[in-house]
């Protein structure tokens, strides 16, 4: 038994033949022809699938698709995807005209969450929260081994939980969202602030101009004992820790899985987060604690998790 | 078909025969003999059930119990219930020795959430968030008509989502929880602060001394146009609104149901909350919005919802 998992990105569409254990048996890729419009992209996706798998093969049980933007997974429709310039595109229906297989569509971050939980670092757990720390903060919620998407699949916007009423402005229009404190962009903002306030910081050696600052600047200099850098890392850990504790109180997951570039810091970040959360766990002594894990499927998480949309449905 | 729903409180245990539509057919009550210990209370509960229903009747399909504290609903065990002085009490198992019927146990706020969604103001919805604004802030999450309780039934601690990192101290040990801004206690704290800062406020006529202040003081004087009172109400609405918007982004429920004494303010409160949330809904124009409703089952919500534990299980 196998599925085709598809990850639609603004630059390219990646597809893979994924077996029941989440292994990638074959891979393919096509440029995302945004200018060509939705019909062209969907036609290209169809060709890509046909190049990887034969619809007549009964072992080929379905196609899962991860797509950026706001998706209605019950209808397989993309309501809005800004970087594809799509509005109300009946993705599943249109692809089904070309390939007669079960097709499931979900948001790309949700697929990554499902992939990591079914086949990645979270495979020993049934209830996880996945948080990606990138330009923004995205995530997904897995309850009882299945994706929880909320009403019209519009839930799971974990980055837009306000941690500080009247806090830093967020892209979503509100103030103080987790994204405004825990994204790579927020980390870079705080690093720059700390550098401007501390002209003798080691960070100026690591990143000679503000334009050179990235998500590593504060972390690497913090490891060398630079005070200003330590302050930035403590700030980042504090807000990320508070956000994770909130999700723990709301969902009480077995594990919270972190993804995104900053997780390359590995144990240096995770140990600090564990320390922060340790004494702040809600409730009595025996209250279940959550593990903190780093995602391990990397850029393939979305594609593998897209296949998981089909597999987790088979379980029903 | 009927169930017996039980609501265990620190003062009394209430029980009712509840039909498939959530109607109360019969009611009973017994004093909670906290000093007598768990065996005595459970024995009293058994007698109460037997006074209401005959276990030999095949129409009597089960017993649902709402209990304060930390419950493991998969085992029917009460891990901790401070006001009953219970630790690791195998409630379902012990009661089953007396009455051979299916028995389900859950936290009392969770039962109220289920009751309001299955049989109360939320009965047209399948996905709701229930928030009780009392001395603390509690709540429950209903997904697809079923209670979501999290790992070991320890999720759904909605009041302990931090809205203000480093904010007002909370009973849970963290700072800035929703409970520290949206509980009746927080409303009273803010009312007193505003009165002390505004000696000419109308609130001093409504509540001549600080000891007289309750959850109505600010609301009633706000209606009369008192500036300081309006400020307190705006503060309360703002933090409650931010908390509700967080839950909307996380769960995207169809409705958020509010319970607790302050909801007696009805449309005066709800209209302000709708106004606050209207322009702050996440995402694009067509993003599903959530209804804001006032709970309608009052003190019976927990008992009715406890019966719902059995009925929602029958649906499986």
Question: What SS3 string covers B169-237?
Answer: ECCCCCECECHHHHCHHHHHHHHHHHHHHCCCCCHHHHCCCHHHCCCCHHHHHHHCCCHHHHHHHHHHH
The pLDDT value given to residue B315: 58
A50-54 — which CB contacts under 8 Å span 24+ positions? A50/A99, A52/A4, A52/A15, A52/A16, A52/A17, A52/A26, A52/A27, A52/A28, A53/A2, A53/A4, A53/A17, A53/A26
* pLDDT one-digit tens code per residue, B162-207: 999 999 999 889 999 999 999 999 999 999 999 999 999 999 999 9
Q: Which two tokens stand for residue B119?
A: 């049989």
Q: Does B179 touch chain A (CB under 8 A)?
A: no
User: Which of A154, A159, A255 to substitute to test the interface with B, most B CBs within 10 Å?
Assistant: A154
Nearest CA in chain B to A127: B151
ipTM of the complex: 0.89
Tokens 């219930």 label which residue? B81
The verdict on a CB contact (< 8 Å) between B252 and A150 is: yes
pLDDT of residue B247 exceeding 90, the answer is yes
Task: Count CA within 13 A, CB hemisphere, residue A257.
Answer: 32
pLDDT of residue A193: 98
Model pLDDT for residues B54-63, shown as the tens digit of each residue: 999 999 999 9
Three-state SS at B4: strand
Residue with tokens 């379902």: B92
**Nearest residue to A70 via CA among A143, A186, A157:** A157
Looking at beta carbons, which residues of chain A come within 8 Å of B251? Answer: 150-151, 155
- Helix %, strand %, coil % for chain A, to 5? 45, 25, 30
Q: What is the pLDDT of residues A113-131, one digit of tens each?
A: 999 999 999 999 999 999 9
* pLDDT over 70, % of chain B: 99
CA distance A166 to A176: 6
Write out pLDDT tens, residues A164-198. Answer: 999 999 988 999 999 999 999 999 999 999 999 99
Distances, alpha carbon A52 to alpha carbons A24, A40, B160, B278, in Å: 12, 19, 49, 47
In the predicted structure, residue B316 carries a pLDDT above the cut 70: no
CB contact under 8 A, A127 and B162: no
Query: Do the Cβ atoms of A96 and A224 come closer than 8 Å?
Result: no
Number of neighbours of residue A242 by Cβ within 10 angstroms: 26
Mutate to test the interface with A, among B145, B150, B173 (most CBs of A within 10 A): B150
Catalogue the E-assigned strands of chain A.
2-8, 12-19, 24-31, 60-67, 70-72, 77-81, 86-89, 103-107, 128-133, 137-143, 146-148, 255-259, 291-294
d(CA A37, CA A40): 6
Residue B127 phi/psi, 5° resolution? Answer: -130, 110
Decide which of B284 and A44 is more confident: A44
Q: Tell me the pTM.
A: 0.92
End-to-end CA distance of chain A: 17
Are A288 and B174 in contact (CB < 8 Å)?
A: no
Q: To the nearest whole number, what is the mean pLDDT of chain A? A: 94
User: How far is it, in rounded angstroms, from Cα A178 to Cα A157?
Assistant: 10
Task: Please list, in sequence order, all residues whose beta carbon lies within 8 angstroms of the beta carbon of residue B316, skipping any fewer than 6 positions away.
Answer: none
Q: How confident is the model at residue A39 (pLDDT cuts 50, 70, 90)?
A: very high
Of A80, A157, A283, the CB nearest to B154: A283
């Amino acid at each position: 038994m196998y599925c085709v998992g598809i990850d639609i990105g603004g630059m390219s569409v990646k597809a893979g033949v994924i077996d029941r254990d989440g292994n990638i048996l074959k891979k393919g890729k096509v440029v995302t022809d945004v200018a060509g419009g939705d019909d062209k992209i969907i036609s290209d996706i169809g060709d890509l699938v046909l190049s990887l798998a034969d619809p007549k093969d009964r072992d080929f049980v379905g196609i899962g698709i991860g797509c950026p933007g706001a998706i209605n997974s019950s209808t397989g429709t993309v309501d809005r995807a800004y970087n594809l310039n799509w509005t109300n595109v009946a993705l599943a229906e249109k692809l089904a005209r070309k390939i007669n297989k079960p097709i499931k569509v979900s948001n790309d971050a949700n697929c990554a969450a499902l992939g990591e939980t079914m086949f990645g670092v979270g495979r020993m757990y049934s209830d996880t929260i996945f948080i990606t720390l990138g330009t923004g903060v995205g995530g997904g919620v897995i309850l009882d081994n299945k994706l929880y998407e909320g009403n019209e699949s519009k839930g799971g916007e974990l980055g837009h939980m306000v941690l500080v009423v009247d806090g830093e402005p967020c892209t979503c229009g509100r103030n103080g969202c987790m994204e405004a404190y825990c994204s790579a962009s927020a980390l870079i903002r705080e690093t720059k602030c700390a550098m401007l306030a501390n002209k003798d910081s080691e960070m100026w050696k690591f990143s000679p101009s503000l334009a050179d600052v990235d998500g590593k600047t504060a972390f690497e200099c913090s490891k060398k004992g630079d005070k200003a850098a330590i302050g930035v890392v403590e700030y980042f850990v504090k807000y990320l820790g508070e956000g994770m504790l909130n999700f723990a109180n709301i969902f009480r997951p077995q594990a919270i899985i972190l993804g995104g570039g900053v997780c390359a810091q590995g144990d240096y970040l995770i140990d600090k987060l564990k320390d922060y959360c340790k004494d702040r766990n809600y409730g009595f002594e025996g209250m279940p604690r959550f593990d903190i894990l780093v995602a391990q499927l990397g850029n393939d998480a979305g594609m593998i998790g897209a296949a998981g949309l089909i597999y987790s449905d088979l379980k029903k």
